[in-house]
Amino acid sequence: MFVMYEKDAMRLPVKVWLEDKKDLEETCREQAYHLAQLPFLHKWVNLMPDTHAGMGMPIGGVIAAEGVIIPNAVGVDIGCGMAYTETNIPLEAIREIQTGNGTLIQAVIGDIMRNVPVGFAHHKLGMPSYTMDRALEELNLYEEDAELLGQLEAGYFQIGTLGGGNHFIELQEDDQGMLAVMIHSGSRHFGKSVCDYFHYKARQLNQKWYSQVPDEYRLAFLPVDSPEGRQYLRWMQLSMDFAKENREKMMLAVKAILEKYIGKYTELDLKFSGDINCHHNYASLETHYGKEVWVHRKGAVRAENGELAVIPGAMGSYSYVVMGKGNQESFCSCSHGAGRKYSRKGAMEAFSCEDVILDLRKQGVVLGKKGKADVAEESRFAYKDIDQVMNAQTDLVTPVKRLKTVGVVKG
């Protein structure tokens, strides 16, 4: 970890969980400087080892704000995060089993693709959602934001859908050879609509108040005790609840598919355990260094002492289940993944579709993806080395389990 601080030019220091400044891209460094000027931040700005440039605030950024909330410091996919479960099934017991649709792993991946909408796809009919049911029962809390109300109805069609980009469903093998499942997804269009709506409101209000925060920083804020701030917090929490239920519903679908195939083709008694469902795009009210602050984690996971979290790598590489160390210096946070080394466009220019598919095939990874044209965006080589990221945060988390991709569904 190193610290960036120029006393005459920066209000607060920036702590970066990387070895050297050369490891930090220029745009990310510039965004960190902007954050360091904010008048309402507590102590310092943190950048996790997977950090890279984002909208306004870097991905992998963690800040503690006094009395304000910044929509762009939470991010557009509010509540994006990870779900995980492990099984008692040795992968070797099922790897070579043949079904009418290829190997058992290929059949499971194919069935997931048929049952979990991916990319821009939604369910054709509304699905049950206890989060949306509760929101409609408490409609009086939300109805003043008329532009967002359509998202409540749309949520019934989006619940249990994966999305695209870096979202995935993976079958994995841990170092003991056991089968596990990992899911990366968020609040779909719901959270993006909330972020965009309140960022626009914040910009209008900041201009009206002659805010010290320049508009070009894209860090417009809302006081949490203002009507707009209170509304954002309500919608943010609803987006987080929706994202968590979304992952939960997909995990239930994957578990049912595994039960079907393992039950049909083996005599094994499948059991699931060790479930985790955690956010990595959100804000929460916490106490750090004697003050109540709104900790914004944008592409970062809470890692309180003894708390379990999930840090995924890119498809075809390793992922980790970790236990937090409760490091106060990081506001009890850690990285949320490996972090991009190439932009999506840069990855498409650097790696071919054929290269990525051959790389996965060499590793024996089953890829489930309807359109392969953009698969290079998610090449494992487009991301930082997950082991380097883990080595940079040994003071933040302890690895509990390491897992390798066996099969992956992408949007």
Is 179 within 8 Å of 91 (Cβ atoms)? yes
Q: Which of helix, strand or coil describes residue 336? A: coil
Q: Which of 302, 365, 369 is nearest to 336 (CA)?
A: 302
Q: Is 135 exposed, middle or buried (0-12, 13-18, 19+ CB in 10 A)?
A: buried
Q: Give the C-alpha separation, 47 to 32, whole Å.
A: 8
Q: What are the backbone angles phi and psi of residue 135, rounded to the nearest 5°?
A: -60, -40
Q: Give the C-alpha separation, 262 to 400, whole Å.
A: 27
Distances (CA, A) of 159 to 131, 148, 170, 306: 10, 17, 19, 31
Element (H, E) at 329: none
Token reading at 213: 């925060």
Residues 6+ apart with CB under 8 A from 410: 118, 164, 167, 168, 315, 367, 368, 369, 375, 378
Active site residue 42: no
CB atoms within 10 A of CB 202: 26
CA 188 to chain centroid, in Å, comes to: 12
SS3 content of the chain, % helix, strand, coil (to 5): 35, 30, 35
Q: What are the backbone angles phi and psi of residue 200, rounded to the nearest 5°?
A: -65, -45
CA dihedral in degrees (401, 281, 317, 159; nearest 10)? 90
Catalytic residue (choose from 167, 199, 296, 336): 336
Q: Give the C-alpha separation, 213 to 335, whole Å.
A: 27
Token reading at 120: 């821009």
Residues involved in catalysis: 336
